[in-house]
Structure 1
Amino acid sequence: MRGVRGAITVEEDRKEAIWSAAATLVETMLRENGIAPETIGAAIFSATEDLVSAFPSAGVRARVDGFDAVPLFDARQLAIEGSLPHCIRVLLLVDTEKGQKDIRHIYLGGAAKLRPDLAGA
């Protein structure tokens, strides 16, 4: 099992924006890593305290094929002074034979600044 990380920012706190961003992030993570939803043990989502209009996991469940049986969990990110606002993060726990260095972690939008070493990989 491997962890696959990702993050994305949204422009505003609206359900549609949160759902769209979360689905885009997860779809990109799946595509870039060749992940099939049935190999995902669980997905953990977090959102900054300024995103209160929707659960990111609900958007993924509604919009990404194959997520009807994947266990999903939402949490609040720590409110650390100076942290990136309007940010959704996800950790996919995936059954894979890939080595840790073969995993592509995905950082989109303003979240690219969280891990500049990985954002362009």
Structure 2
Amino acid sequence: MTVRAIRGATQLECDDREHLFERTAELVREVLDANGLGTDALISILFTCTPDLRSDFPATAAREMGMGDVPLMCAVEIDVPTALPRVVRLMAHAELDVPRSQVRHVYLHGATVLRRDLAQ
């Protein structure tokens, strides 16, 4: 099986723990669904948040989805003044036996502007 990296991002309306969990769970589900994956195919997920999101960790939302055995990590994005605000990004590493060109990256809500070429 080949290891592939899958990118994704979503934008939040506000920095609220429940909203962060909803949007993070939606993003993770969409990444898995778009690539036909179950959680057993995941190797790890790295989450990043823009500095304006501090209500909780996106990894906590993933753990609440049942991903307690998947290595998860969170980091803060570089604080670029012109960056899109309130964004959670992820890079999931998964066993995915398709060519790199067939990996489906997922950009939701306001984050679609980050990669219009990849947004669904």
So what's the TM-score if we normalise by structure 1? 0.95
Partner of 1:93: 93
Q: 2:26 maps to what in 1? A: 24
Q: Secondary structure of the residue that 2:118 maps to in structure 1? A: helix
2:41 aligns with one of 22, 26, 39 = 39
Deviation at residue 23 of structure 1 after TM alignment: 0.3
Going by fraction, where is helix more abundant, 1 or 2? 1
- SS of 1:93's partner is strand
Q: How well do the aligned residues superpose, as a CA RMSD in angstroms?
A: 0.8
Partner residue of 1:70? 70
Percent identity among equivalent residues?
33
- The alignment partner of 1:116 has SS state of coil
Deviation at 1:61? Answer: 1.0
List gaps (5 residues or longer) in structure 1. Answer: none
Residue aligning to 1:115: 115
Aligned with residue 5 of structure 2, among 3, 6, 15: 3
Amino acid across the alignment from 1:41: I
- How far apart are the structure 1 equivalents of 2:96 and 2:33? 14
Distance 1:5 1:35 in 2: 14
Moved over 6 A (4+): none
Whole-angstrom distance in 2 between the partners of 1:118 and 1:53: 28
Alignment length, in residue pairs?
118
What is the alpha-carbon distance in structure 1 between the residues aligned to residue 11 and residue 108 of structure 2? 7
Q: Write the letter of the residue equivalent to 1:11.
A: E
User: 1:96, CA displacement in angstroms?
Assistant: 1.4
Query: Could you tell me how far 1:38 is from its partner in structure 2?
Result: 1.1
The aligned residue for residue 84 of structure 1 is 84
